[in-house]
Each structure stands twice: as structure tokens, then as C-alpha cells.
Structure 1
Amino acid sequence: MEMTDRPGPPTGLARVLWRLPILLYRCGLGRLLGHRVMLLTHIGRSSGQPRHAVLEVVEHDRSGYIAASGFGARADWYRNVIAEPDVTIQIAARKLNVTAAPLSAKQGGEVMARYAGERPAAARRLCGLMGFRVDGGVEDYREVGEQVPFVRFTIRGEG
């Protein structure tokens, strides 16, 4: 694994396009995005106002969902859920009350290794977007996962 240039959060037109799925959710069309995309509603740590982010579901089970902060620990949504972990997610048409908790670096490495095994092409593209060059080996993906913050969203109850 080699770190290339770690990108910052998108700005300008790229930000508008990146946030377009939020509009789909607001229009009641979240189901078009399937079960691999979630709408996160969280509280701004400074403003106290509701904020939204759309994240890829990296892994899920009966107890909750896992997502990665591709822009690292400086991403606003990540900093907000660390400050106020009781949040809401929506996957397709299903809204859930969840509690966010960061995974350890080791846990993140294991999650990324599993993700790469299940979706190799998507994992390679995702690593490129996050500024990592990988050789496609499990250890490379594990190393990336140890450097990217992952968050588990544990279900508290239906929303």
C-alpha cells in the first residue's frame, strides 16, 4: 500500500454532485440508491443543527451498519458523530435510530480486508478516491483500513 495524495472533502461543483443523493432521499427516492448507500442525519457539533451526509454501507449485520470516513477523521460528519453519537440513518425507505461508535484501527483493517474480498473492483476504486495505491493483496487493503476511520452504527430502534 502506498499513500498518494490524500484528497480533502470536495468543493464547488464536485461537492454539489457528491451531495446529490441527499436530494434523492429528501424527495422520497432513497430506495433508488439501494441498500449500499445510507443517509446519515446527525447534529452539527458547533451549530446544533441537523446535518446530512450520504455514505456507502461497507458492511452490515442484524445489529447495525458500518461506514468509512473516506476523507479521514477531519470529515465533518465523522467529527459530528463522535461528538453526538445518537443519530439516524436511512437505507432505502427504512429509517433507523442508531448509535455511532468508531472502530479501532485493527477492526477497520479487518473490515476493509473483507470488503475488498467481496467487492474487489469497488475496493480498488475507493482506495484510489481516498488517496491510496494498492496492489490488490489482502494485506494492502488491511493496511488501508487501519488508516481510515470506520464507524459502526448500532441499531437502537426503528425510527
Structure 2
Amino acid sequence: MGKRFLCLTHVGRKSGREYRTVLEVIGLRPQSGEVLAIAGLGPSSDWYRNIQAAPAAEVVIGRRKFVPAYRTLDEPEAADAIADYERRNLLLRPVLHPVLSKLLGWRYDGSDAARHRMVRQLPIVAFRPRDGAEPDREGTDR
């Protein structure tokens, strides 16, 4: 899956079962080690609710594997992240805007106002290694 997708391992808030969810990576921040993903079904996404109830167990992206901490981006930072994602993926625009429109329930046109409205509806999450742990050579936390 390279660096285009990540696999999030999380625990069900009701069942206690372990789940794996594949999420599209919308941004990488090498300096902070953060990986950005969007809760495409909004704050009611099961994976999003699960990580709020209990820490996620693992994130795997490419050959990198770590125990994650996370934060939800605030509106200005999230809107900037979406703008950057759209700039890097111009060829996806004919597909991206209709898909986002369907998820949002209103016509997404890629304008700054639409991006701000969208990120109020769909949280963007930044995952990073917990406690600053760096992956070892095999890609796991020490």
C-alpha cells in the first residue's frame, strides 16, 4: 500500500475486539512524524469513536510501524491540509469532488469556504509515534 494508505489497529469501544481499518493518507509531515487521515464518515466513524475511547494499538504505513498517539486538527490547520492534498492530487479532482459531495450531503466545489465547511463536518486526524518513540530497523517501536 506504500505511503498512500495506512492500516490502523484499534479496539472496539463496546466489543473490546481488535479491528483493522485502512485509511487514505491525505498528508505526511516528516518533521513531526505525523501522518494525516480523514474520518470520511464524520465523527460517527467507528474507528474515530474507538480511538477516542481507547488508544489505538498500531499504525502501519509502508514499512513503518508504530504505536500511535493522535490529535484532531483544528479547523484552519485541517483546511490547509485539505488544500494541500487537493494541490498534490489535481488529477483526482473529477472524482474527489463528487465523492466528497456524496459524503457531505452538499455540493463540494473545492473553494476555501467549502473546505472550511467540510472540515467542520469531517475530522482530520494526525497520528504520530506515541511518546516520541522512533521505529527500529524492522519498523516496530523499541
Q: TM-score range by the shorter chain?
A: 0.7 to 0.9
- Aligned-pair identity (%): 29
Question: What is residue 50 of structure 1 aligned with on the other side?
Answer: 18
Residues 42-68 of structure 1, C-alpha deviations (whole Å, 9 max, x = no match): 111122221111100011112211111
Among 73, 85, 89, the residue aligned to 1:103: 73
TM-score when normalising by structure 2: 0.77
Q: Counterpart amino acid of 2:17?
A: Q
How many pairs align? 127
What does 1:78-93 correspond to in 2, within 5 Å?
A: 78-93=48-63
| 1:82 and 1:102 in contact (8 A); partners too | no
Shift of 1:96: 1.7
Shift of 1:95: 1.5
TM-score when normalising by structure 1: 0.70
5+ residue gaps in structure 2? none
Give me the CA root mean square deviation: 2.0
Residues 66-114 of structure 1, C-alpha deviations (whole Å, 9 max, x = no match): 1110101111100001112343111123212211222223332222222
Could you list the structure 1 runs, at least 4 aligned residues long, displaced by more than 6 angstroms after superposition: none
What does 1:20-59 correspond to in 2, within 5 Å?
A: 33-59=1-27
Question: What is residue 134 of structure 1 aligned with on the other side?
Answer: 108
Q: Counterpart amino acid of 1:150?
A: I
- Compared with structure 1, are the counterparts of its residues 126 and 56 closer, same or farther at alpha carbon in structure 2 (3 Å cutoff)? farther
Question: What is residue 124 of structure 1 aligned with on the other side?
Answer: 97
Among 75, 92, 97, the residue aligned to 2:45: 75
| 2:8 and 2:56 in contact (8 A); partners too | no
Distance 1:113 1:143 in 2: 13
| 2:13 and 2:49 in contact (8 A); partners too | yes
Helix, strand or coil for the counterpart of 1:35? coil
| 1:103 and 1:151 in contact (8 A); partners too | yes
Distance 1:113 1:126 in 2: 16
- Compared with structure 1, are the counterparts of its residues 138 and 148 closer, same or farther at alpha carbon in structure 2 (3 Å cutoff)? same
| 2:56 and 2:69 in contact (8 A); partners too | yes
